[in-house]
Amino acid sequence: PLAPRAKEEANPSQHTRTTGTAAATELSAVAPRSKGSREAPTRKRSKVEGKQSMSAPAFSLPALHYDYSALEPHIDATTMTIHHTKHHNTYVNNMNAVCQKDASLLSLDLVALNQKVGDTSAISADVMTTVRNNGGGHWNHSFFWTVLGKPADNNGPSAEVKGAIDAAFGSFDQMQSAFNAAAAGRFGSGWAWLGVDAASKGLVITSTPNQDNPLMTAVVDKPCIPILGLDVWEHAYYLKYQNKRPEYVALSTLKTLSLSLPFPFALRSEKDQ
C-alpha cells in the first residue's frame, strides 16, 4: 500500500508531516529538518505598514523532513539532492524574480497565485506564463516533498482515506491502478494527482502537463484539492530508471507515497504572519 507513517498519533493535527489542508496552503510552515538534511530557509515576508517589503525574498525553498537518502532504493539520494536543491530551487528563484518585476503578485500567497492562473484580472498577462510555470513548480514540489516518506514507514492508508478510496474506486488496488495509469500515461512532462472534488467531496484522479496542478481551475481539465501527487518529469527519476517511467511510478506509489493523514474537504489559504 501507499506508505504512511508507521505510528498514528492520537491527534493527527500534531503530525509534522503534512498532507491535505496543511500541505495545500503553500506550506509556509516548513516541515522540521532531520539530521543530515540540507539547511533551507523558511519563507519569511517582512511587512511595512501592511505591505510586504522586497528586502527579503517572497518565497524560499522548504526544508525536507527526511534525508536525501531516506527513499533509497526506490528514489536515489543523488536524484533527490538535485531535484530539491536545483530544480525546485530554480522555481523559487524565478518566482522571486517575477515578484521583483510585478510587486502586485505579493498580495497573493502561493495557493492563491496557483488558483488565479488564467485570470488576467488577478495576474497580468505579461507574467502569467512565468507564474504558471514557476508558481506551479514551487507549489507542486513543496506538496510533493510532504507526501513522500521512508519506505519502512508503511502501514497502509488511514481509515478515513481508505473509506473514501473504496467509495470512489471500489478498492485500494483499483485506485492505485488508475493512479499509476494516469502517471505512466501522461505524455511528456507533468504530474499525476489524487484529489478531492470540491463539489462532490469524492476522490478523483487526474494528470496535468508541465507544472500545472488541479488548483489552477481556469486551465486544467479536472480541478480538485490534491491529497497525493507524483512528479513524472524525467528529472524526478531518470538517473535510476532512465526511460522506464512505469517502473518508477509503480515503486513510488507502493513504497514512498503516503496517504496516512486525514484529508481536507475545503482548502484554507493561510498568509504568513
Confidence of residue 16 (pLDDT cuts 50, 70, 90): very low
Instruction: Please report where in the chains the cell 530554480 appears, as a residue.
Output: 90
Cα–Cα distances in Å, from 203 out to 43, 199, 228, 232, 260? Answer: 31, 11, 11, 21, 15
For the stretch 182-241, pLDDT in tens is 999 999 999 999 999 989 999 999 999 999 999 999 999 999 999 999 999 999 999 999
Q: Considering only CA atoms, which of 76, 3, 16, 20 is closest in space to residue 193?
A: 20
Q: Residue 55: its pLDDT value, please?
A: 55
Residue 188 pairs in a beta bridge with none
Low-confidence winner among 31-40, 85-94, 123-132, 252-261 (lowest mean pLDDT) = 31-40
For residue 158, the model assigns a pLDDT of 78
DSSP state of 257: B
Position with higher pLDDT, 238 vs 54: 238
Residue 171: predicted pLDDT: 94
Average pLDDT score, the chain: 79
Our CA angle for 177, 146, 8, nearest 5°, is: 85
> Is the full-model pTM beyond 0.75?
yes
pLDDT in the model for residue 140? 97
Count CA atoms within 13 Å of residue 13 on its CB side: 1
Distance CA 202, CA 182 (A): 18
Is the pLDDT at 78 greater than 50, yes or no? yes
In 3-state terms the chain splits into helix, strand, coil percentages (rounded to 5) of: 40, 10, 50
Cβ-count burial 54-77 (b if 16+ within 10 Å, e if not): eeebbbbbbbbbbbbbbbeebbbe
More confident: 234 or 14:
234
Q: Which amino acid is at 178?
A: A
Sign of CA dihedral 253, 256, 260, 266: negative
